[in-house]
Structure 1
Amino acid sequence: MVRQFTFLPGDRRDTGDDGRTVRYSHWGRYNTFYGLSFTTTLSTVLLLAQLNECRVTGQLFTLANRFPGSAALVVQLLAAFFGLLHLAVICKLINYALRLRLNKVSVSLDVLRTWVDMSIMRVDWDLPLRFFFPSVFVVLLSLVPAALWAGSMTPSVSRTVDSGMLLIPSYEDVSMIKEYPMMIGSSGPSLRTQKGFFTYSVGQQQSSQLLASAAQASSLGGGPHIHRKLDNTQFSYRGRSYGVGASIGLMDQGIRSNSQVAGYIYQEEGYLANVTCTYNATSNFTLSGPVNEWIYAASGNLPDSEEGPEYSNYIGHDGKAIVAMGVAYSDRSPRRYLAIAAGPAYSFLNTTQCEFDFTPTLFNVTVDVGNLNITVKPVRTMPDFNPQRNVTRTVVRQFELMSNDMTNLYVSLLGEAFNSSIAAYKMSETFNNRTFTEEEATLAGLTNSMVAMADDMLVAYASAQLMVGRMFTQQPAKVYVYALQFGQPSYIYAIFTLNLVIILAVVFEAVRTAAWSALGRFNYLDPRDLIVAASRGGGDIAAAADDIMERREGRRMKHIWLLSDPDGGNGSLIVNLRGDQDGHVKIEVGAGQCNRDAESAYPPDEKSMYVEHGAETERGPLTPKTPMKMKVGIFGSKQ
């Protein structure tokens, strides 16, 4: 039967039938290093996933978010396993290197204990400090691989890019976008659904929302103005809408049906409305009357009037609370101008005049589905998608209809909305410590209200095209979907680098040691090998240890061990490996160890640690007969 033997490589004999010479198999020597195939594969996959911004969606994302504790447990177990693979390779490299060195050097028992601790990543608390700190340092480093694996595999919520499609309004047919009489029963086509109320009579049937937009147009804070869409989708614009984004919440079901959608971006054509308001002291548009009981006339020419002056009637108790707006009535007019004639109650609005400029523009529309926010940014100008300008002329004309409809005997609702915007502008400028005149504040607040109302009217007509007229076209969108991102980039790069360094260390050691060809079967980590090799060494080791202990009896320590009991005294005993005549390894007392008599069995590096009570002057210094010049370091000393 095959017995366990340990041989020095130089003393090996050919394998015989007695089985005494036990050789390493390939698997027995290199099996630990094959674990690097798993760590290399995973670290490479993580690195490629990071470089290519790969993300995980679907069921795995849902499970990770529903059971975060379980996900963390799985990550910790995997990190511990892959960290163990790295640690096993590192320990094997240390073990092989020190076993090869043990064939060439003498070591003290403390050094041998340190080697054991470094090979199995263990802290031995009663090592001398010069050995304790290196072993603790190695043990602390052993915690790094698992920690890096955890950082490189921990899932976090990220986003990935997908594609989608939504429906946006089409303006190929604008026959329903026109001015409808401000009379009961004469309004344009309308539709009411759970998503809101949609109509082509925007100035008449959506006047309440437009008034709210006018009143809130001047933001009180330093951030962008946030205002709701004119429907029940709960989405809000951050900043200006520019008249686009009507499809959001209405015709994007194909995108938002995915519960993991974070948002999307698409492009839409629209009009960038620029409004410039000034005072025109020579304005021809004025109030007169009463022309009949409680009836006042607002009439006069505008810069773009065609086919004669504009004329409309307003109701009022005495004309003081009237805010009349004049917009060219003729279809031949470009309808770019709006003039205001106001009574004494709103005298700050009297003789103001606003010029509208609608520039066809391509916009980027960004939708945050989670926060229900819409952000619109102009990209570039483009050819007019509605050359007849039905849309813009109808929008400007709504101001005249609203001003007429929202004036009663005692107050103008439109004038109050403008007044709120002007007051908000004043508060904002005061808060920012900026000076302004009343005229500047009035024109700025009025301009903000006109812009806000024009944008919302454009959105209202676009919504009517979608929901009432069913006139739309498909538009692609870039969709951002919530996904899992495994690990942070810094940890992924770190674990890939660590894995590469370990591979290079294995290759370097394999080349340096000729694939560990000189490695013997003796392993100082195996207590079987230690016991067998020590027994072959005979009783010299035990006798030398007894001599050391006898010399220490009755002496007190000058040095104190850090975190454990004092060393028993034999840690400084120097030993080495020798092969016997049969090629078996044995442990024997080192050649440099002191003689075993009472005076020489005490190594000089240990003598200074003990002081005999009252013996310093009576017996003199403890000087060995054979001077000891060997000082064994952490890597041993040459035999």
Structure 2
Amino acid sequence: MTRPRASEGYAAAFTADHSQFLCLLPTTAASVFVFYCSVATVRFSGDFYQLIVDNRPSVQFAVQILANALSFLQALVLCRVINFTVRRYFAHEAMSLDSLRLWIDLIALRMNWGLPCKFWLPLGLFMLATMALKGIWAAALTPVEVWKATHGEVFVPSWENVTHVKEYPSEVGREGPTIQTSQGRFSYSVGTQIRGHLLMSATSATTTDGGSREHRKIDNSRYTYIGRSYGLGTSAGLLDRNLEEDRLAISYKYQEDGYTTDVKCIHNETSNFWIGSTAFDWLWAAQGELPDSDDGREYSDYIGHRGTNIVALGVAHFADVDAEKLPLRKYLAFSTGESYKMLDKLQCEVDFTPARFNVTVNKLGRNITVVPTEGKDVEDIEPSRRLKGTVLRQFALISNDETNLYVSVVGQALNASITDLYTYYASRGNDKKTPSDEEMVRKGVENSIKAVCDDMLGAYGSAQLVLSDLKSTTPAEVRKAAIAIGEIRFAAATFAINTAIILAFIIEAVRTSWWKGLPSFDIGDIRQLIVASSNGGPGLGRAASQRKGNKMGQLRVRLARSDEGLLGLLGDEQGECDESSPIMEKKSSSTTIDVVHYGRSGWGPGWI
């Protein structure tokens, strides 16, 4: 009897057994592809995106099929490497039946609870690992909705021509250019034609929770500002039809120049703006000079019972409204009746500082966010001061128009803002130091003036776009809906696992000189096991029958080959070999038994 002869390993490089290693080609291509797509942030948009979105169930079905196929190929390679290594070992070393069962189950990818308990853990872990491959591949291949940055352009108002930006009388028929469309009302008489929205802004200027204020855009675009608008983002929903009609467009972001409106109010007891009676019982005169008056006092008539219901706002007028550059206007003066005494003698300084802003328009959420940048030395968008001065003059018009015999709507709006501020501090308890009543009044009024100024700047910007068609373009980053192949963590996992399998294959192939000495006997082939057991004769069977229960699994067997080339399984102990077996026939007439020893392969003690 001889040990089995080694096959020619290098010559068998492309046999059917070895060809299974070619399964690494598709898995490597797939893992490299998904990893590259994740690292390079490859995004698929357009028709491919629409195909994925419209066929979610079919796509997921295809992903599961592909994930199962790729994980199966990887498991096949692992099992083949294990198969070759065990076969090579078994060619010259004995192995217990339990160990043989373990390797057969492991190669067949099945859990066998009939094995000794010590084999459950390694077999179970290997099974779980191969099952996890399916999940990792599925996660790496599943299309994920993301966004893709593209370039575009949006319109912004142009302020090179401000001919229509001026103060118009409040009388009916004398208003400035105005138009009503399905998109909303647009007018250069902002203080009279859009005052309902402005008063609403003044009322809701202070939030009761201290968070960002959300307020509707002054047109019918259904957009909402998150935080302050600063008068920007006016073209959203009006002149961005190309983006509105783009089903894939999610949002867009651009930079626009404008003003940061800062307001600082004080109680000026020496204010020279006051309310006095006239020759008519229900007519009262608000008059006086402001710190920036340069053409005499201000004067306007208000109506009211006994004057207690009046909230008069004074803003210095212009001596020459057609001047190339108007004088600076920055003060608002309050004079009130007894009903609004907390607002009396207020004097607010309003500063319009040129600044650059990041404007983000979220098309899906229908909201706009405007955030000032940290850049300095921004050029004034309208250096003639006509826009800033006209905005302030609207406060005087609104306060006059919105005062009746019994109440001042402006006073009520400011009172609502102040009340919300009280509510905010009351809800905070002792978390914050509560300001004094005067500080509450000043802060509430400051919030309202900022909100109204922002909306008026936006109203004039919309008028420039819609009424005068005065606009310019600015570059924008458009975010479009796109598809990414999986997530980077799973893509990296598939790449790492596939690389590990390749390394394991290469290391084992080099260590064994491409499995030199690999016998043709395959422990995973039930046909070869049956034939080899038969060739070994009944001796092994008798030895096994003498062992009961789990002891049978401890029986050690070895693989042998006769001079005629027959393979057989023999017991490793004396008495477990049958002299009548085909493996022993030719050796019975010989007094010398030649045994081919290949030596140990370096495995040492372990599961085998």
Query: TM-score scaled to structure 1, two decimals?
Result: 0.86
Q: 1:592 to 1:267 in 2, by over 3 A?
A: farther
Q: Which amino acid aligns with 1:270?
A: G
The one of 556, 573, 581 equivalent to 1:574 is 556
Which residue is equivalent to 2:129?
Answer: 141
Which residue is equivalent to 2:76?
Answer: 88
Which residue is equivalent to 2:227?
Answer: 239
Q: 1:132 to 1:269 in 2, by over 3 A?
A: closer
Q: Does 1:408 align with 2:390?
A: no
> CA contact under 8 A between 1:169 and 1:463: conserved in structure 2?
yes
Q: 1:592 to 1:89 in 2, by over 3 A?
A: farther
Report matched runs for 1:376-415 at 5 Å: 376-379=370-373, 380-381=375-376, 382-415=378-411
The separation in 1 between residues aligned to 2:510 and 2:12, in whole angstroms, is 18
Q: Which amino acid aligns with 1:359?
A: T
Q: 1:284 to 1:44 in 2, by over 3 A?
A: same
Q: Does 1:200 align with 2:185?
A: no
The one of 249, 267, 287 equivalent to 1:299 is 287
350-359 vs 430-439, which deviates more?
430-439
Q: 1:317 to 1:592 in 2, by over 3 A?
A: farther
Q: Which amino acid aligns with 1:192?
A: Q
> CA contact under 8 A between 1:263 and 1:367: conserved in structure 2?
yes
Report matched runs for 1:553-564 at 5 Å: none
The separation in 2 between residues aligned to 1:358 and 1:145, in whole angstroms, is 62
Q: Does 1:429 align with 2:425?
A: yes
SS of equivalent residue, structure 1 residue 325: strand
Shift of 1:593: 6.3
Report matched runs for 1:231-630 at 5 Å: 231-330=219-318, 331=321, 332-379=326-373, 380-381=375-376, 382-433=378-429, 434-548=433-547, 552=548, 570-591=552-573
Q: 1:244 to 1:11 in 2, by over 3 A?
A: closer
Q: Percent identity?
A: 38
Query: TM-score scaled to structure 2, two decimals?
Result: 0.90
Q: Which amino acid aligns with 2:337?
A: G
SS of equivalent residue, structure 2 residue 279: strand
SS of equivalent residue, structure 1 residue 480: strand
431-440 vs 216-225, which deviates more?
431-440
CA distances 1:513-537 after superposition (whole Å, capped 9, x unpaired): 1112321211111122222222222
SS of equivalent residue, structure 1 residue 306: coil
The separation in 2 between residues aligned to 1:574 and 1:385, in whole angstroms, is 93
Report matched runs for 1:45-60 at 5 Å: 45-60=33-48
> CA contact under 8 A between 2:269 and 2:345: conserved in structure 1?
yes
Q: 1:130 to 1:633 in 2, by over 3 A?
A: farther
Q: Does 1:111 align with 2:110?
A: no
SS of equivalent residue, structure 2 residue 94: strand
Q: Which amino acid aligns with 1:443?
A: R
The separation in 2 between residues aligned to 1:258 and 1:581, in whole angstroms, is 80
Q: 1:412 to 1:119 in 2, by over 3 A?
A: same
Paired positions, count: 569
Structure 2: runs of 5+ lacking an equivalent: 579-603
Shift of 1:390: 1.2
The separation in 1 between residues aligned to 2:118 and 2:299, in whole angstroms, is 103
Q: Does 1:156 align with 2:155?
A: no
The separation in 2 between residues aligned to 1:132 and 1:214, in whole angstroms, is 74
Q: Does 1:64 align with 2:63?
A: no
If asked which structure has higher relative contact order (CA below 8 Å, sep 6+), I would say: 2
The separation in 2 between residues aligned to 1:348 and 1:635, in whole angstroms, is 90
Shift of 1:210: 0.3
Which residue is equivalent to 1:20?
Answer: none
The separation in 2 between residues aligned to 1:328 and 1:33, in whole angstroms, is 88
SS of equivalent residue, structure 2 residue 278: strand
CA distances 1:375-433 after superposition (whole Å, capped 9, x unpaired): 11111240112110111111001001111111111111111101111111111122123
RMSD of aligned residue pairs (Cα, Å)? 2.0
CA distances 1:61-107 after superposition (whole Å, capped 9, x unpaired): 33433343333222221111110011000000000000000011111
Structure 1: runs of 5+ lacking an equivalent: 1-5, 13-22, 553-565, 597-631
SS of equivalent residue, structure 2 residue 510: helix
Shift of 1:129: 1.7
222-231 vs 329-338, which deviates more?
329-338
The separation in 2 between residues aligned to 1:247 and 1:446, in whole angstroms, is 29
SS of equivalent residue, structure 1 residue 143: helix
> CA contact under 8 A between 1:7 and 1:521: conserved in structure 2?
no
The separation in 1 between residues aligned to 2:575 and 2:466, in whole angstroms, is 100
Q: Which amino acid aligns with 1:353?
A: Q
Q: Which amino acid aligns with 1:461?
A: Y
Q: Which amino acid aligns with 1:511?
A: V
> CA contact under 8 A between 1:7 and 1:522: conserved in structure 2?
no
The separation in 1 between residues aligned to 2:573 and 2:470, in whole angstroms, is 101
